[in-house]
Structure 1
Amino acid sequence: MDRVKKTSSPAADLTDDLIVEILSRLPAKSICRFKCVSPHWRSLITDRANRRKLPQTLSGFFRHTVGQDGHNEPISVPVFYSIVSGLGEEEKHVRDPSLSFLPGCYKTIIPKDCCNGLLLCLCWKGSPKDESNYVVCNPATEKWVILPQSDQASQLFVRHVGFDPAVSSHFHVFSVLEGLDGYTTGVDVYSSEAKAWSYKENGWADETVLYEPSVFLNGMMHFVSCEFTIVALDTQGKSWRTIPLLQTMGYEDYFYGNCAIIGQSQGHLHYLNVRERDASTLSVWTLSNYCSGEWLFKYNINIFQLFGWKDVINQRQWDYTLVAIHPECSLIFYILHHENMLLSYDMDHGKVHVIRKLKEHYYGATYIPYVPLFTESLVDHE
């Protein structure tokens, strides 16, 4: 009997260019798994030249820490916490976490927001003092652009960056403005294409108060409001949308602790909240139909089981903080304060994973999710 000839895998006959072209059409989650196929595939995926063509996923979090300069004056500097274990020098998604490639006149750099690889920072000059700029940069390519001052700067509440490289190479920055009574008066939107700000008066309810979490999805920036709604605005300032929450999605006063955050995961808007009358339960909802505003309940997470606390009611404000939801899979990230740990929780399998010990304590600093972008974004705006 003749031996049946063993044939090699069909993939072995593919050229490197074809492999990269095929991988570029897959979701980022699959790209991460395919690093384990072989050493050759891993080198292809991690090669900096190929990264420009491949989708990327969450690699870590930016935040700022307070220190002192050579004259013992307080300064804030950015730091980056990677969530990728065993990351080698050739695979680092942030070559310069301190963002020292930004202009040397900046003494203090505070990351404020990030969207699809572009990081928005508030930068204070060393001289003259008390002068600052908002800067949008790409930490992966070390490109940056300084935003011009807005005529509405005196009313500024908070700024967020919106960017979708699949739609356009241009980005937008949303400045939410509020009056002395705390209500939103309007939104100033910066367009990198027009290189100018455009102010629009508030198109939501008159007494709208917004909170810090935001999500850029489907060309619109989304915020949580104190009216138990999610409100959204497009990049042109023409479409103002209000998405009601279900009665069961209610939350208590934001200033009392972990109540609600929003995030984008697997192409859908997600909403996480602590139940109004049961602080031991963290609930997760997804906007299953974006056009109709239909919410779908996904998970109930038992805080007692997750953390092993005896009294969540008294400890929830201090012992943990929700950070983000993973953009590609059912993971939430949170900080366990008394352990000073960054952890993740797999909502599909109910598993906790310790990511790393944090060097600095939380102290209310925002942890900003970062997905690297290796294309030459901002090159036309530098």
Structure 2
Amino acid sequence: MDMPDDVLLEIFSWLPAKSICKFRCVNKFFNTSTSKEIYFVQKQVHNSLSKDDDSCFFLQPKWGQSYGAKHEFHHSSTKNLISGVSDKFLQFLEQYPACRIVDSSNGLILGRSNIELFICNPVTQSWIPIPTPDYLKKYPGADLKIVLECSLEDSNDFMLFLFEVQDDWASQYHDVKFYSAKEAMWKGIETSFFIGDRPLIFDTHVYHKKALHFMSICYGFSREKPYIMAYSIEDGSSRMLRIPREAKAGSQHLTCQMRIYKWGKSASSNQSICLVRLRKKVFVVWVLTDYEANKWRKILKIRVKAMGMKEEDPIAVTGFTVMNGEQLFFATKEKVYGYGLRGENYMKLEEICEHGFGCHTTRFTAYSDTLCSCGDGAATLPLPQQH
């Protein structure tokens, strides 16, 4: 039975991007139809993120950005193995000089190779180079304080924000530059970002209420206890968000780590921020319930040893993250686990995979395969040839 084109496209928009790309190779109608319908890409991205924001993740050792690294790719659940990237893309990461994944958003990846930056979509195998910022030319070995955000409303656009330390390295203000994809150039923003007394952690951020949020570091002397700073992308204003009093207690301890993550689905109006603290082998998680009043609710406190792992020595946690707005992922010396933070999987442990980084501190980069565009001027990714 023949179906109208719009019905077929609606059905296909619920498929993972990897499956759609396969159909495009073998089905002439499907290929020509979707390529002409810009809204199809937006619909596929929205549908994908309404189901599972991040179906996969990359693992890499947490070294400086100027050093290349081995990358591992894994699915976020043993029950969902449809999404993914090709082995060719992983080979590209290994063969491109000193290549590292810096950030990821809604299917796009920000990569760095020495002082070169690029945006790519591993599934559509497209990429576009980003002009090297003057700051990186001046300090080629520096770690950039840079974030990528791909708009859910417009999957043909992405945002890059670069925060630069002013001449005084102890300054409480960072200069801000925005990358204009349409003009292919970096533009300075007049208003600086006030970061407070403590350095901020830029390798994890949360985009919420049209602002970028960053957690401060825990260690070091400061008049202020750890906090969250928000930078509004609309007017450049800075705002400090207080964290729970319990989270501040003992935050100077050498084992204390705190990070913030997205809470809730990207397509949901109930999205918020969650705070994860790991201290003395104990995880505690809070959710921000009132943004304006800085009110938090504790949803989990558990010792790592009590989670039910079967490893002989599973205690040392080498890295952690929160994905899909509801599940805590963490790595031990040998394996990666997922631990439910709400719903039917609350406080349920799932062994996700093994990894090859041993005791090295590992960095998670969440990823969802979508048809998100790298923008005008994107070219085919220079993937290695198979022999």
TM-score (norm 1): 0.71
**Structure 1 unaligned residues grouped into runs of 5+:** 1-11, 26-30, 33-42, 67-73, 125-131, 310-314
Deviation at 1:370, TM superposition (A): 0.8
Q: Spell out, residue by residue over 1:79-124, the C-alpha distance to the aligned partner (whole angstroms, 9 max, x if none).
A: 3122343766xx342124645568x8x4221111111111111113
Q: 1:344 aligns with which of 338, 348, 352?
A: 338
Question: Kindly tell me: are residues 303 and 195 of structure 1, through their superposed partners in 2, closer, same or farther at Cα, counting changes over 3 Å?
Answer: same
Q: Residue 267 of structure 2 corresponds to which residue in structure 1?
A: none
In 2, the alpha carbon distance for the partners of 1:23 and 1:271 equals 36
Identify the match of residue 113 of structure 1 among 103, 113, 116.
103
Name the structure 1 match of 2:161: 174
* Pairing of 1:43-82 with structure 2 (within 5 A): 52=41, 53=44, 54-56=47-49, 57=52, 58-64=54-60, 76-82=69-75
Aligned-pair distance for 1:217?
A: 2.8
Could you list the runs of 5+ residues in structure 2 that have no partner in the other structure? 25-29, 35-39, 218-223, 265-270, 380-387
Do the aligned partners of 1:143 and 1:379 also contact (CA within 8 Å) in 2? no
SS at match of 1:55: helix
What's the RMSD between the two structures over aligned residues?
3.9
Q: Which is higher, the Rg of structure 1 or of structure 2?
A: 1
Residue 245 of structure 1 aligns to a residue whose secondary structure is coil
**C-alpha separation between the residues in 1 aligned to 2:321 and 2:23?**
28
**Contact 1:61/1:370, CA 8 A, preserved across alignment:** yes
Equivalent residue, structure 2, for 1:9: none
1:138 and 2:121 equivalent?
A: yes
Corresponding residue SS for 1:238: coil
Corresponding residue of 2:278: 274
* Cα contact 1:173–1:190 (8 A) shared by 2: yes
Secondary structure of the 1:366 match is: strand
Report deviation, 1:303.
2.9
Q: Is the 8 A contact 1:182 1:209 kept in 2?
A: no
Q: What is the letter of the counterpart of residue 86 of structure 2?
A: R
CA positional deviation for 1:305: 1.1
CA contact (8 A) 1:162 1:172 kept: yes
- Correspondences of 1:1-382 after superposition (within 5 Å): 18=7, 21=10, 52=41, 53=44, 54-56=47-49, 57=52, 58-64=54-60, 76-85=69-78, 91-96=82-87, 98-99=89-90, 106-124=96-114, 132-153=115-136, 154=138, 157-167=144-154, 169-178=156-165, 179-181=168-170, 184-200=173-189, 202-211=192-201, 212-226=203-217, 227=224, 228-235=226-233, 238-250=236-248, 252=250, 256-266=254-264, 267-274=271-278, 279=280, 281-306=282-307, 319-328=316-325, 330-337=326-333, 340-348=334-342, 349-361=346-358, 363-382=360-379
Cα distance change on mapping 1:235 and 1:196 into 2, 3 Å: farther
Percent identity, aligned pairs only?
A: 19
CA distance in 1, matches of 2:9, 2:247: 43
- 1:323 counterpart letter in structure 2: F
Alpha-carbon offset, residue 59 of structure 1: 2.2
* Displacement of 1:320: 0.7
Give 2:102's aligned amino acid. Answer: K
- State the Cα distance separating 1:170 from its structure 2 match: 1.8
Structure with higher RCO (Cα < 8 A, 6+ apart): 2
